[in-house]
Chains A and B, each alone.
Chain A
Amino acid sequence: MSTVVNPGKRDRLWRGVVIATPYLWLLLFFLIPFAIVLKISFADPLVAQPPFSPFFDWTATTGDRILATLDNYRFLLEDKLYLVSYLKSIKIALISTALCLLLGFPMAYAIALTPYPWRNLLLLLVILPFWTSFLLRVYAWMVMLGKQGLINHLLISSGLIDEPLQMLYTDGAVYLGIVYTYVPFMILPLYATLEKLDLDLNEAAADLGARPHQIFRDITLPLALPGIIAGCLLVFIPALGEYVIPALLGGLDSLMIGRTLYDEFFVNRDWPLASAVAVVLLLILILPIMLFQRLQQESDA
């Protein structure tokens, strides 16, 4: 049943299969869906299935075939809810990133200074949370922070407070949750740059009379800068669109944009507006994402 195929042709076929299969999959399930989001963000919501107006009206006989509308984007600007959500998300993501850096930098530095084989164990302890359920780790903080949670229990039984503190369902809990889940993303790239640091440089500087804070500021920090930027982007980008953490740990008013988008879609069922929210979120993220890609390419080269 074997057919004789010219080997050159067979090689081209193999090359075609290798490239085309994943290419077509991504076109179909990544690029085209995103183009649809873009398209629907310019549509009007309709009470219909699907609940949005068509982009082109092929039945129109006059020149007015394009039915695109900027109403959704105009609404995003007019309704304070969205502006507040975007600004609040940016603020929470920025502050959480800074907190992750404050905690992650000393941790990564300490790991990089630890001799083997202990260093492997410490690294494993940073990587382990990556593999455990993100959702369950966020949930663990509900057990800690709740009105009847462990922290309130300890504070009350030690006599420091009489009434349980409201810690769960606050912005503070959201910051805590983001730092908790994303600090490993900060530690690993920092460790990767700090590991390569030449400690002889520190000693040379010390011999020449530099003080520890000068060594840190003038040698360690500049050399670790690529790791700092990579780590900050790895925390900031996912934190900005975060849904689960504000939904579980935040209060009703903790409207991060990921949550607003989710609610717009599932509660209000306004697909065009949800799409516009997504497009604007992506526009905000494009700059940090491109910066991250460039950094990756530089480190690959």
Chain B
Amino acid sequence: MRRSSTFLYSVLCFGYAFLYLPILVLMLYSFNNARLATVWGGFSTRWYSALLENAQILDAALLSLQIAVVSATVATLLGTLAALGLNRMGRYRGRTLFTGMIAAPLVMPEVITGLSLLLFVSLQELTGWPSSRGANTITIAHITFSMAYVAVIVQSRLASMDHSLEEAAMDLGGRPFAVTLDITLPLVAPAMAAGWLLAFTLSLDDLVISSFTSGAGASTLPMVIFSKVKLGVTPEINALATIIIGIVTVGVLIAGWTMLRQQRVNPGH
């Protein structure tokens, strides 16, 4: 067994090097004074200053953040309702279709989701709505695919939860609305928070569906990044990547650390 575990841990080390080396190299080069990737021209923060002066990138970042906050919030509301509808509402007609519509966006290739939403919004001539394509249509598209992720996360929490509290409240005469609000929602709040964060990240990162649904109306941050790096390595994007990855890493580490602490305080979970 000794030899096989040596093999397993060698592959593990190789795997982590494979996962993290390119990102570390990218971060290192963001501080490179030279424009060419290979030549080390000394330490410099010039690409960061260039980034801060790049109005196109800053505008796109702001737009992406707005879309991400709005779409994550609406997706969390709709996704939580969907999870309740699948898990706490018993049987009703059309439930199978509902289950399918929740599951399908998770596995649907982005190009197909993007194409179908674009064809849909391009029927605006018939209905007069939406009046233009841009941030609003991107937001609708993001809500649609990320509410499915929220629904899955909240639903798995609902499924693993003890029903007895809710049943006790019902037996004591609590109305379903009040029971949901006072008992179910506080219990699924951590899952809703996780769902919001995931929806936020998915929205911030989405390129394909945004490109399909935005028309010429708006450019999100991934769309600007994509149009720049398609032509080759861009030092300003290295700086941007370092900032984004830095923020995300710190956020995930804090979240992971908090969760571990909670587990220690509360070993039942």
Contacts and interface: CB of A to CB of B under 8 A. Distances in A.
A binds B: yes
Interface in A99-131: 103-104, 106-107, 109-111, 113, 117, 120, 122, 124-129, 131
Contacts of A124: 252-253, 256
Interface stretch (A60-68, A70-78, A139-147): A139-147
A110 B12 contact: yes
A225 B151 CA distance: 27
B208 A139 contact: no
A178 interface: no
A18 B109 contact: no
B144 A139 contact: no
Interface residues of B, number: 91
Nearest to A14: B177
A200 interface: no
B144 A22 contact: no
How many chain A residues sit at the interface, stated as a range, is 35 or more
A132 B11 contact: no
B176 A11 contact: yes
B226 A244 contact: yes
Interface string A162-186: 0000000000000000001001100
A253 interface: no
A22 B147 contact: yes
Given A23-B98, A50-B123, A148-B37, A133 B19 contact: no
A163 to B, nearest CB: 14
Nearest to A279: B112
Interface string B103-127: 1110111111001111110110100
Given A139-B225, A285-B109, A7 B101 contact: no
A141 B15 CA distance: 15
Contact of A241 (B5, B109, B119): B109
Nearest to A125: B16
Given A243-B111, A278-B112, A150 B25 contact: yes
A56 interface: no
B226 A106 contact: no
B268 interface: no
Interface in A25-51: 25-27, 29-34, 36-37, 40, 49-50
Contacts of A153: 37-38
B85 to A, nearest CB: 4
B9 to A, nearest CB: 5
A206 B81 CA distance: 51
Interface stretch (B47-55, B161-169, B232-240): B232-240
Nearest to A138: B229
B81 A183 contact: no
Contacts, number: 253
A21 interface: yes
Contact of B252 (A128, A143, A258): A128
A36 B8 contact: no
A135 interface: yes
A152 B151 CA distance: 46
Chain B interface, >50% SS class: helix
Most B CB atoms within 10 A — which of A30, A111, A125?
A30
Nearest to B245: A132
B128 interface: no
B89 interface: yes
A90 interface: no
B140 A143 contact: no
Given A125-B16, A131-B252, A274-B115, A36 B244 contact: no
A50 to B, nearest CB: 6
B75 to A, nearest CB: 10
A80 interface: no
A248 interface: yes
- Interface pairs A-B: 6 shortest CB-CB: A241-B109, A22-B82, A33-B116, A33-B120, A106-B11, A140-B22
Given A29-B120, A122-B12, 13 more contacts: A11-B177, A18-B85, A18-B89, A22-B81, A33-B117, A36-B120, A109-B8, A120-B256, A152-B38, A180-B19, A240-B109, A248-B229, A296-B103
Interface of B: 1, 4-5, 7-9, 11-12, 15-16, 18-23, 25-26, 29, 36-38, 78-79, 81-82, 84-85, 88-89, 92, 94, 97-98, 101-105, 107-112, 115-120, 122-123, 125, 140-141, 143-144, 147, 151, 159, 175-177, 180, 201, 204-205, 207-208, 211-212, 222, 225-226, 229-230, 232-233, 237-238, 241, 244-245, 248-249, 251-253, 256, 260
23 contacts: A15-B89, A22-B85, A25-B143, A30-B105, A31-B97, A50-B123, A125-B20, A128-B252, A131-B252, A133-B248, A136-B245, A137-B22, A144-B21, A149-B37, A150-B25, A180-B22, A212-B1, A242-B109, A258-B111, A271-B119, A275-B119, A282-B108, A285-B107
